[in-house]
Amino acid sequence: MNNYTSAAYTAYPSVDSVIAFKNVGKRYGSLQVLSSLSLQVNRGEVYGFLGRNGAGKSTAIKMMMGITGVSSGSIELFGQPVKNNVVKSRQRIGYVAQEQHFYNWMSPKQLGKFVRGLYPRWNQSRYEQLTDLFELPFKRKIGHFSGGMKAKLALCMAVATSPECLILDEPTAGMDPVARREFLDLVSREARRTDATVFFSTHLIDDIEAIADRIGIIESGKTVYEGGLGALSNHIATYSIDETLFQEGVVPGDFVRHEAWLLQQGSRNGRFYQVFEFAKGAPVSPALDYGWQEDTMTLEDVFVAVVAKAP
């Protein structure tokens, strides 16, 4: 991990820690799904948990929720080990799973009556307000709902439990752009309104860029970055040159004194590009050799560069 990442990897969780993974591993037989995964989510923040499909995000969440066990390391929720407090911890958490499983014969009205006895702080009026906001038919059978409608219903239920922590596992997958924006806006508003902690797992970079305070990036079951979006973007830069001018082994400029190393390189749209990571931040207006230029990077470009260089 890089020297500009968060100290949460090695430090003990702070008093404000809501979620803490400490060197967590998960193995299914000979398959190692997670290896030394460490992260910390603090009270009141929106934390984006980023990783491409298959990186281990859903496995990490299932262990956090007590659905599956930890092979090594430990997980704490609200300062207590998960394995000792599964039921009590889950009563303080609103959870939206990657796939929604409801009783299709129920309506949202019936579902609310069914689950509210399980949560001491269930807010029925808030539940009805949210289903109305999302234009979910309160008396229609859930079996007739689309995937996006079911995800919205799951969020309504999660928020109605008045959670201290909201855990979202790829909640916008399959939603159209309008539904995604409505969903994200509600998550952001609820987080600010209630000062709840939000743990948002996704591979959709735009979702995180819109609402996250901090992010953690996981690749091949390991944490490869944890910290602010700005800190990550400020340490990575890309440069390009016309393919006809590129010479093998030549870099854009004298980056040795900037403590830089090459993450990626390749060709696109007739230009050869190189992506560098800088230990102390990318230089502003660097002196580049003839033909080279600095290109604008999106958060998605940065994310791809980080996971591509992960061991």
Structure tokens at 239: 């440069």
**Rounded CA Rg of the chain:** 22
pLDDT of residue 12: 42
pLDDT band at 171 (very low <50, low <70, confident <90, very high): confident
Enter the DSSP assignment of 283.
Answer: P
pLDDT 10s digits, 174-211: 778 888 888 888 888 888 888 889 999 988 888 888 78
Distance between CA atoms of residues 162 and 159, nearest Å? 6
The SS3 call for residue 223 is strand
Structure tokens at 137: 């038919």
For the cut 60, the answer to whether the pLDDT of residue 9 exceeds it is no
Spell out the domain ranges in the chain: 235-309
3-state percent breakdown (helix, strand, coil) of the chain, nearest 5: 35, 30, 40
Q: How distant, in Å, are the alpha carbons of 138, 190, 221, 224 from that of 111? A: 10, 21, 36, 40
Structure tokens at 164: 């201290």
pLDDT of residue 5: 44
Question: Is the CB of residue 294 less than 8 Å from the CB of residue 286?
Answer: yes
Longest dimension (CA), the chain: 70
Q: What is the pTM of this model?
A: 0.84
Distance between CA atoms of residues 291 and 286, nearest Å? 13
* Pure H helices in 70-166: 86-90, 108-115, 124-133, 147-160
pLDDT 10s digits, 254-307: 887 778 888 889 999 999 999 999 988 888 888 899 999 999 998 888 888 888
